[in-house]
Amino acid sequence: MSSIWAFLGIPPQALFGQLMVGLINGAFYAMLSLGLALIFGMLNIINFAHGALYMMGAFAAYFLLNFFGIGYWPALLLAPLIVGAFGMVIERLFLKQLYGLDHLYGLLLTFGLALILEGVFRELYGSSGLPYAPPPELTGGYNLGFMYLPTYRGWVVVASAIVCIGTWLLIEKTRLGAYLRAATENPALVQAFGINVPAMITLTYGLGVALAAFAGVLAAPIYSVNPLMGSNLIIIVFAVVVIGGMGSILGSVITGFMLGLLEGLTKVFYPEASNTVIFVVMAIVLLIKPQGLFGRAN
Amino acid sequence: MKKLTVLAAALALSASYGAANAQVSGDTVKIGVLNDQSGPYSDLAGKGSFIAAQMAAEDFGGKVLGKPIEIITADHQNKPDIASNIANQWIDTENVDAIVDVPTSSVALAIQEITKNKNRVHINSGAASSDLTGKNCSPTGVHWTYDTYALAKGTGGTLVKEGGDSWFFITADYAFGHALERDTTAAVTAAGGKVVGAVRHPFPGTTDFSSFLLQAQSSGAKVVGIANAGTDTINTIKQAGEFGLVAGGQKLAGLLVFLSDVHSLGLKTAQGLVVTDGWYWDRDDETRAFAKKFAARNGGKMPTMVQAGVYSGISHYLKAIDAAKTDEAKAAVAKMKELPINDFFAKNGKVREDGRMVHDMLLVQVKKPEESKGPWDYYKILSVIPGDEAYRPMKAEFGCSLVK
């Protein structure tokens, strides 16, 4: 056993630490790709504004704290609600017009929205970011023996796992989820059964956006509240969705965590390639299984 | 499959965030401020540098040798190819005489080549690499505000003297980070310390530094040298606090920390950091006067050393044109090297043959929250490092062909 560690050139403790850190980053990928997969699966919209909405979640938490004195815990609920409502307005005003058209229109519209939102926030708040402190009960950390785990990072993994499982249960195991899935397959028929399909679609988009905003609030104490925080992540998250399989909820969650781990390992063995490795995996997956690891072939 | 094609297009599209905005030309002395206006370095340079440039032109009277001075600007997005296109267009079709600021060393090195070949002036304030006055020096290039050598000597040398004799680097993986790591390694070794390891992270696009911080932590080095800049530095320092590096007895060396970074970090997180700075707004009456005027036009934000350096560099360039009676690049820069610099930025500064503007540097420490009297009151000045000690001596061995 010890010869393996010697071969890898890294003590086992350090490796466990890196895997833990990879898992934490994977939690963010999972939450964001989950929202994207949900929106793509149900609305057939490639939501390029997802990163900007994630950023707005962080800013919402910042505004709640600095203008209304509302702290982290309420913000964790309020920010997704606020940004989710904003998302629903976007869906009603703009996206609704595009459902019958080619994917490209939705893509361009949301890309434009992302540029506008980021531009506005950058103009107002600069690019360095604003400080946002973690709640006092989540500061400090635990010595796990192989690493020092900041309490807040541990919380991120737990919160993300809860949200991911909850969303999956909602879609796969509840009546509402069944309606949603049916509405994606055959909207006309579902409508004929007396279910308000447009309202469900709006709600789904709102839910996807709220997930992004939730991730944004979780990220605020770690990465500072930064107008560019979304554009740094969004491309990786798109790759995660493609690898996991378009529109596959479970696939996006599992892939998110797995790629976080893979990226973590790359940061140890070949750090220079750490922001490329996910795209290499994407290319390989597309060559071998174009529908993605968990996707169904059309 | 069609969905995948669209997604591939989406990924490609995402690489093209932002766009340049070049402007029209005239029969003027035209100065182009080329920098990052949308990314990680846009607060430390960005629009503020453009404002500083406009102020320099206005304070000079708006005219030199009877010709109007025109300031234009563009966003180089930290990409050498985009920057090169803009610079070529500025020079070839818009008759730009000088390109200034240009943070991001990889971009600055590209602009240095273009301005050298096309005989235009390059006054660099934002970039760090000491190669700009070493193997990449140019007869029309001037490096104004700071460089990796001075940062390394100031911060690296000081920390080794205080007992921080083993180092681990977290380095941005491009020209700037490499130069800063190289120069700091030299400074640390020269002062009797040793470097136990380094890790290089991709730039731009790294937001999570925890993996690199864990590596730094397990290296057991006494000092963790942070050889990156802007938002990367902010995130590294913030997350180092989270992972308990300082609490565990390691010292953070922010090798390049700008005032805007400290503002974003907040004093609670940044307190105690020792930083080498080319200029600080709250040093004397002259610096404060400039800073107040600048802040009034920059949304209340005080100038960074880069922005102040842009003003100072352009003022000196305009003086040199006036004295040389021409804006021909080589003649103007030769005159810049003749004239001493005495303004709010530098006292008895001089531009050397290799293009290095030598001026005193400051060793500062970030104040504790209770020591600060309000926003932007962030540094106490520990000592003044005389220019001749701060900057690399001018010797042929450093590769500048202008040095005989």
Angle, vertex CA A176, rays to CA A175 and CA A179, nearest 5: 90
**Two tokens at A280?**
């290499």
CB pairs under 8 A between A and B: 156
Task: Residue A31: name the closest of A282, A178, A230 by CA.
Answer: A230
The residue type found at A236 is I
Who wins on pLDDT, B106 or A148?
Answer: B106
Decide if B241 touches A, using CB distance below 8 A: no
Chain B, residues 159-198, CB within 8 A of chain A, namely: 173
Q: Out of B11, B38, B243, name the one closest to residue A150 (CB).
A: B243
Dist CA A153 CA A139 (whole Å): 10
Dist CA A203 CA A38 (whole Å): 11
Dist CA B50 CA B73 (whole Å): 7
Decide if A246 touches B, using CB distance below 8 A: yes
Q: Out of B2, B13, B43, name the one closest to residue A111 (CB).
A: B13
Rg of chain B over all Cα atoms, to the nearest angstrom: 21
Contacts of B370 (CB under 8 A, 6+ apart): none
Sorting pLDDT into bands at 50, 70 and 90, what band is B121? Answer: very high
Judged against a pLDDT cut of 80, whether residue B23 lies above it is answered with no
User: Burial, B169: exposed, middle or buried (Cβ in 10 Å; 0-12, 13-18, 19+)?
Assistant: buried
Per-residue pLDDT of chain A (298 residues; tens, 9 = 90+): 455 555 566 677 778 888 888 999 999 999 999 999 999 888 888 899 999 999 999 999 999 999 999 999 999 999 999 999 999 999 999 999 988 888 889 999 999 999 999 999 998 998 888 989 899 999 888 888 888 889 999 999 999 999 999 999 998 899 989 998 888 888 889 889 888 999 999 999 999 999 999 999 999 999 889 998 998 788 899 999 999 988 788 888 999 999 999 998 898 888 888 889 999 999 999 999 988 998 875 5
Helix ranges, chain A (H): 2-8, 12-43, 50-68, 72-93, 103-125, 151-173, 175-185, 187-192, 197-223, 229-244, 249-269, 277-288
The CATH architecture of the domain made up of A9-288 is Orthogonal Bundle (1.10)
The full set of domain ranges for chain B reads 19-146+284-359, 149-277+361-390
Dist CA A168 CA A249 (whole Å): 7
Q: How far is CA A279 from CA A256, A275, B6, B311, B362, in A?
A: 13, 8, 16, 43, 44
How confident is the model at residue B301, as a pLDDT?
A: 95
Q: Using the beta-carbon criterion (under 8 Å), do B2 and A130 form an inter-chain contact?
A: no
The residue type found at A6 is A
**Two tokens at B191?**
């002062």
How confident is the model at residue A297, as a pLDDT?
A: 59
Sorting pLDDT into bands at 50, 70 and 90, what band is B4? Answer: low
Q: For residue B204, which residues of chain A lie inside 8 Å, CB to CB?
A: 232
The residue type found at B84 is S
How confident is the model at residue B21, as a pLDDT?
A: 33
How confident is the model at residue B22, as a pLDDT?
A: 29
pTM reported for the whole predicted model: 0.87
Interface pTM, i.e. ipTM: 0.85
Decide if A223 touches B, using CB distance below 8 A: yes
Decide if A104 touches B, using CB distance below 8 A: yes
Dist CA B85 CA B121 (whole Å): 17
What's the CATH superfamily of B19-146+284-359?
Response regulator (3.40.50.2300)
pLDDT tens digits, one per residue of B35-85: 999 888 999 999 999 999 999 999 999 999 989 999 999 999 999 999 999
Decide if B249 touches A, using CB distance below 8 A: no
Contact A21, A264 (CB under 8 A): yes
User: Burial, A151: exposed, middle or buried (Cβ in 10 Å; 0-12, 13-18, 19+)?
Assistant: middle
Fold of the CATH domain B149-277+361-390:
Rossmann fold (3.40.50)
Contact A273, A229 (CB under 8 A): no
DSSP assignment letter at A225: B
Contacts of A233 (CB under 8 A, 6+ apart): A28, A29, A32, A51, A54, B207
Q: Out of B13, B43, B199, name the one closest to residue A271 (CB).
A: B199
Sorting pLDDT into bands at 50, 70 and 90, what band is B12? Answer: low
The full set of domain ranges for chain A reads 9-288
